[in-house]
């Protein structure tokens, strides 16, 4: 008894330690931020690394536009749905001046009006458009993108000159409410990309961050759009307005804290279990279980008092015919004489013996009151027939 208690006690300690470790080491949910530091499906990490590995010069702009001037050699700036810090009017003025001098701004705007910075809305007013139609055009056989759709490139100008199809989310489009804005790509009259000239530069406004996200970057002509932008010169991604939090403590330090917490919890539980008395142990109650023989006697008494239901007798014949059908392939619809002949051919049981057992069943069924002894005798005879059919008997048994 003492050994069982110790096993249970240490089992509780181990379970508590494991539960504490699992609770403190749960993986964080995927981040929705369109940041170049986010390797998740909605991040831009794959695009940043692709451009960098292909030889293009890419920068992560981690300072405000109004705080430090944009590098003179920078040719393209990507602003992807700011989700951390607000975009101030001063930053928009600085960015607009830079575009007017010949820069290219790629604005990956949110489809939700409440997520778009008001300062950018004054410069590039946007309104919602209908839902883009679903299309799998251009996808190779076997490629699955259930939440995406294909849009065509309408305007072959600038960076879209060599493009034909783009793959974006199956969502709403956007409309740029400026007279000089030109729709560049879309489907069935719903635009998802606009080009807005600004001085000597230009602005590309896209509905959502679909064209740059990790999950659709390699589909159709999405990468070719970014290749065309990178060919113009250095390309910068706005990371300041994503407000990405600094990296947390290293994993080794976190594991040390988890281990310390586990040891503290185990120590407290051990101290409480060893230092607290719950009173004297109660006497062990001995339970006296009924023997199997008592159950057998009770079942026998019930069997003696029970009456034989008439439906049980024909069920013996139906059950035997089912075995004949399953084991020997003899259809239950055949007459008894034909079935007896086939049984004799296929398993060696005499047809006369089979028909004799059938006659005994009919005579028992015709009795006014079926005695348990008659039913038990009939059950034994049919059990012998079933044993022969199923292979449990070595030779056929004659009628008893």
14-41 confidence digits (pLDDT tens): 666 565 555 444 445 677 788 888 888 8
243-272 confidence digits (pLDDT tens): 754 444 455 567 777 878 888 888 777 777
Q: Using CA atoms, how far apart are residues 231 and 251, in angstroms rounded to an integer?
A: 39
pLDDT at 344: 85
Residue of 387, 57, 65, 13 lying closest to 232 (CA atoms):
57
Between 234 and 287, the more confident residue is 234
Q: Which residue's structure tokens are 């839902």?
A: 131
pTM beyond cutoff 0.85: no
Of the chain, the percentage scoring pLDDT greater than 90 comes to: 14
What CATH topology corresponds to 30-242? Rossmann fold (3.40.50)
Q: Taking residues 68-80, what's their average pLDDT?
A: 83
pLDDT at 400: 42
Q: Taking residues 373-380, what's their average pLDDT?
A: 84
Q: Where are the domains of the chain?
A: 30-242, 294-390
Instruction: Determine which of 21-35, 41-55, 59-73, 225-239 has the lowest per-residue pLDDT on average.
Output: 21-35
Of the chain, the percentage scoring pLDDT greater than 70 comes to: 83
221 neighbors 150 (Cβ within 8 angstroms): no
Q: Which residue's structure tokens are 């969502």?
A: 171
Between 313 and 12, the more confident residue is 313
């Amino acid at each position: 008894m003492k050994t069982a208690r110790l096993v249970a006690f240490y089992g509780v300690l181990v379970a508590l330690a494991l539960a504490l470790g699992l609770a403190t080491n749960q993986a964080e949910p995927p981040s929705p931020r369109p940041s170049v530091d986010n390797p998740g499906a909605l991040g831009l990490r794959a695009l940043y690394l692709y451009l960098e590995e292909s030889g293009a010069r890419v920068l992560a702009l981690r300072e405000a536009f109004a705080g430090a001037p944009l590098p003179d050699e920078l040719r393209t700036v990507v602003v992807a749905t700011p989700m951390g810090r607000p975009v101030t009017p001063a930053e928009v003025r600085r960015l607009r001046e830079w575009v007017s001098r010949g820069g290219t701004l790629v604005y990956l705007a949110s489809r939700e009006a409440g997520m778009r910075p008001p300062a950018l809305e004054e410069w590039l007013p946007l309104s919602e458009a209908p839902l883009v139609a679903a299309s799998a055009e251009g996808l190779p056989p076997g490629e699955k993108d259930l939440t995406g759709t294909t849009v065509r490139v309408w305007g072959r100008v600038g960076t879209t000159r060599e493009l034909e199809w783009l793959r974006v989310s199956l969502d709403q489009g956007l409309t740029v409410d400026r007279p000089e804005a030109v729709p560049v790509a879309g489907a069935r009259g719903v635009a998802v990309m606009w080009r807005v000239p600004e001085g000597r530069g230009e602005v590309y406004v896209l509905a959502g961050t679909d064209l740059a996200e990790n999950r659709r970057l390699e589909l159709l002509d999405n990468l070719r759009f970014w290749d065309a932008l990178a060919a113009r010169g250095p390309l910068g991604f706005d990371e300041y307005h994503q407000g990405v939090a600094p990296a947390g403590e290293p994993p080794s330090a976190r594991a040390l804290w988890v281990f310390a917490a586990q040891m503290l919890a185990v120590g407290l539980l051990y101290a409480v279990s060893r230092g607290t008395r719950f009173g004297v142990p109660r006497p062990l109650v001995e339970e006296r279980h009924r023997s199997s023989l008592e159950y057998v006697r009770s079942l026998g008494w019930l069997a003696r008092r029970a009456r034989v239901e008439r439906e049980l007798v024909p069920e013996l014949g139906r059950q035997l015919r089912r075995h004949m059908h399953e084991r020997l392939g003899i259809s239950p619809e055949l007459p008894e004489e034909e079935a007896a002949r086939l049984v004799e051919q296929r398993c060696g049981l005499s047809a006369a013996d089979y028909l004799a057992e059938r006659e005994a069943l009919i005579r028992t069924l015709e009795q006014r009151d079926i005695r348990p002894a008659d039913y038990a005798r009939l059950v034994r005879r049919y059990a012998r027939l079933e044993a022969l059919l199923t292979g449990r008997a070595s030779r056929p048994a004659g009628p008893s």
